[in-house]
Amino acid sequence: MRWAHLIPAQAQVLDVACGSGRHMQYLQTHGFHVLGVDRDENSLNLAKSFGEVVCADLENAPWPLTGRQFDAVVVTNYLWRPSFADVLACLKPHGVLIYETFAQGNETVGKPSREEFLLGHGELLQICQDMRIVAYEDVFLNSPDRYVQRIVAVLADKDRTTRFAGSSDTTGKS
């Protein structure tokens, strides 16, 4: 909600791992055209009242949105590192990325607690290093207690070079 004003009016927005569509609902009520993708068909049955939905397993199948681009991409409480390049490729030039998920330290207060589901310190900054960073936090939050990392970044132009953690590919192509 805090950064939705950065998204152009009537924009196309992708909600990755949308679940039942909580963010889709907010975005749709503010005039955005939303597409949500998730693997849970039951959750998507609720989400489809807020926009278009795609049922896809983002971790065990090919990326379902290859070639599609959006004015904004929202990802919350979801981390699948192999999809970082695909998520960023979905941004149009000057597109807005809003990403928040659990970070290292969360293993001390609850779930998720496995390292592969927790962002390392500064990991979102590294992923978005070729974008214009609007906001970044690596914080502890209460009620419920959790460690999160958040970033809001804008894609500067179409021909950027993007480097991904653990990848030697610096061309922005995967």
pLDDT (tens digit, 9 = 90+) per residue, 88-126? 999 999 999 999 999 998 899 999 999 999 999 999 999
Instruction: Give residues with Cβ within 8 angstroms of 149, minimum separation 6.
Output: 100, 101, 102, 103, 119, 123, 124, 136, 137, 138, 139
**169 confidence band (pLDDT: 50, 70, 90):** very low
pLDDT of residue 158: 53
**Three-class secondary structure of residue 70 per DSSP:** strand
Would you give the DSSP letter of residue 3? T
